[in-house]
């Protein structure tokens, strides 16, 4: 190519505003100066795109590129245009937004799952795990666009991996948000399940307390026998002639004897009355407690009811106390605990299970309104996942993208540039 024509091309590029990216790239191009070469064409060598890019990205920039994937990551380095990069940037943005959204939604789940292992470092551990999964998702997305002849299977597998990872995160995205904004409702639902597990035994106990009546004590049979003896003896005494000294003496001895049937019956009667009185007091107390428990079941929250009547079960799963509650000592004089309720570290797996059960249970039942923002997060995740997957698939089918991965095209363009450089050297 004559030097004049080369100059005209350069001038034209400089005059076109839409080609500013070419001028910017040219200004950033580095050259390799080789002192050992005598020929000018060999002494000054323009570095390739790969060479120029080495060492250019800072650590922060690399991390940001992992989170917010640049459009050029979806193509090869053999050929590119501004229009293609603009199109790829749109696809990369959708993919990045999808993975970032899923990361934010699933972070509470990762934190809770790792709580038994990480203890006080559950937050950082959950963040790291979520970041690794985000990284893996974006890498599979980037690799899914290279559908050149030898990479079709790899690209297909990468797209499937991206879709599976995204759908897995989507499945629990609503759950993760629900765990944050509806923590109290989840705890209440879990407590209700635990109360229901106790309901059968509890109902039997309450029914027994409400229907129990005073029963005859063990001495009642002896008392009955003594009373019958007393009655029989009394009837016999009625036949005595008290005008006669011997019979009057007999009457007096019978009445004054300590072990006389009538005296024994009177003594046993007092014992029976006392025991029945104790029974009645106990029955009345248990009946009042049962009535109070029935009223509490209707008026208290499930978590409050669990704390009051099943404290051991409560302490198995929770720390702290429900809102407006305090725990006091047995004498009710000392406050033991008034901290806000939360899941125990070793029971946060139960929190995830309860959250998933309640979320999908309401989703299956069609109770979408009760899910609030969590159903919104779930739907958004589905839309972003499907959109990103479709865009990645169509990107891989794009002929320009395929060309950017074609090594033969790069060889041809390098040969043309070399020939152009040789022609310039000859003109000089």
Task: Give residue 361's pLDDT.
Answer: 92
Q: What is the mean pLDDT of residues 99-119?
A: 92
Task: For 226-295, give the DSSP string.
Answer: HHHHHHHHHHHHHTS-TTSHHHHHHHHHHHH-TT-HHHHHHHHHHHHHHHHHHHHHHHHHHHHHHHHHHH
Q: What is the mean pLDDT of residues 341-360?
A: 92
The pTM (predicted TM-score) of the whole model is 0.71
pLDDT of residue 51 exceeding 50: no
Percentage of residues in the chain having pLDDT higher than 90: 42
Question: Mapping DSSP to helix (H, G, I), strand (E, B) and coil, where does residue 78 land?
Answer: coil
Task: Give residue 59's pLDDT.
Answer: 86
Q: Which of 25-39, 162-176, 286-300, 393-407 has the lowest mean pLDDT?
A: 25-39
Task: Give residue 226's pLDDT.
Answer: 78
pLDDT of residue 358 exceeding 90: yes
pLDDT digits (tens, 9 = 90+) for 318-347: 999 998 888 877 766 667 778 899 999 889
pLDDT digits (tens, 9 = 90+) for 202-215: 988 888 888 888 77
Per the prediction, the chain carries an average pLDDT of 82
Whether the Cβ atoms of residue 405 and residue 151 lie closer than 8 Å to each other: yes
pLDDT of residue 54 exceeding 50: no
Task: Give residue 53's pLDDT.
Answer: 47
Every domain of the chain and the residues it spans: 57-181+367-427, 184-342
pLDDT digits (tens, 9 = 90+) for 266-279: 778 888 888 888 88
Report the candidate in 398, 387, 388 with the shortest Cα–Cα distance to residue 145: 398
Distances in Å between the Cα of 361 and the Cα atoms of 102, 175, 251, 354, 356 are 21, 11, 85, 10, 8
Q: How many CA atoms within 13 Å lie on the side-chain side of 343?
A: 26
Reported confidence tier of residue 304, pLDDT bands at 50, 70, 90: very high
More confident residue, 56 or 181: 181
More confident residue, 338 or 246: 338
More confident residue, 219 or 20: 219
């Amino acid at each position: 190519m004559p030097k004049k024509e080369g100059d005209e091309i350069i001038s034209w590029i400089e005059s076109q505003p839409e080609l500013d990216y070419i001028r910017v790239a040219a200004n950033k191009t580095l050259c390799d100066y080789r002192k050992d070469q005598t020929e000018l064409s060999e002494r000054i060598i323009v570095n390739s795109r790969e060479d120029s890019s080495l060492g250019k990205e800072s650590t922060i920039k690399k991390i940001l590129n992992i989170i917010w994937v640049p459009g050029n990551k979806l193509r090869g380095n053999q050929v590119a245009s501004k229009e293609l990069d603009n199109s790829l940037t749109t696809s990369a943005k959708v993919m990045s937004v999808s993975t970032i959204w899923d990361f934010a939604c699933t972070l509470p789940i990762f934190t809770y799952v790792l709580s038994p292992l990480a203890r006080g470092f559950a937050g950082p551990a959950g963040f790291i795990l979520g970041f690794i999964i985000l990284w893996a998702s974006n890498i599979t997305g980037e690799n899914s666009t290279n559908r050149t002849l030898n990479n079709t299977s790899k690209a297909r597998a990468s797209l499937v991996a991206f879709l599976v990872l995204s759908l897995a995160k989507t499945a629990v995205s609503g759950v993760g948000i629900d765990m944050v904004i509806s923590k109290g409702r989840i705890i209440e639902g879990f407590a209700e399940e635990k109360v229901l597990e106790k309901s059968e035994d509890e109902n039997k106990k309450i029914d027994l307390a409400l229907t129990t009546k005073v029963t005859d004590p063990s001495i009642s049979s002896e008392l009955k026998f003594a009373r019958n003896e007393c009655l029989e003896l009394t009837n016999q005494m009625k036949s005595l002639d008290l005008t006669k000294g011997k019979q009057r003496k007999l009457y007096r001895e019978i009445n004054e004897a300590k072990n006389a049937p009538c005296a024994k019956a009177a003594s046993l009667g007092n014992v029976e009355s006392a025991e029945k009185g104790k029974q009645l007091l106990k029955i009345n107390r248990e009946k009042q407690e049962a009535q109070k428990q029935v009223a509490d079941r209707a008026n208290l929250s499930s978590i409050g009811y669990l704390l009051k009547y099943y404290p051991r079960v409560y302490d198995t799963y929770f720390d702290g106390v429900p809102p407006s509650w305090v725990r006091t000592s047995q004498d009710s004089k000392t406050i033991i605990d008034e901290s806000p309720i939360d899941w125990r570290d070793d029971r946060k797996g139960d929190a995830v299970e309860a959250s998933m059960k309640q979320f999908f249970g309401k989703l299956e039942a069609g109770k979408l309104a009760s899910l609030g923002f969590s159903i919104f997060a779930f739907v958004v995740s589905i839309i972003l996942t499907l959109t990103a997957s479709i865009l990645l698939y169509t990107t891989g089918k794009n002929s320009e993208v395929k060309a950017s991965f074609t090594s033969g095209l790069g060889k041809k363009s390098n040969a043309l540039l070399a020939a152009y450089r040789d022609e310039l050297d000859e003109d000089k």
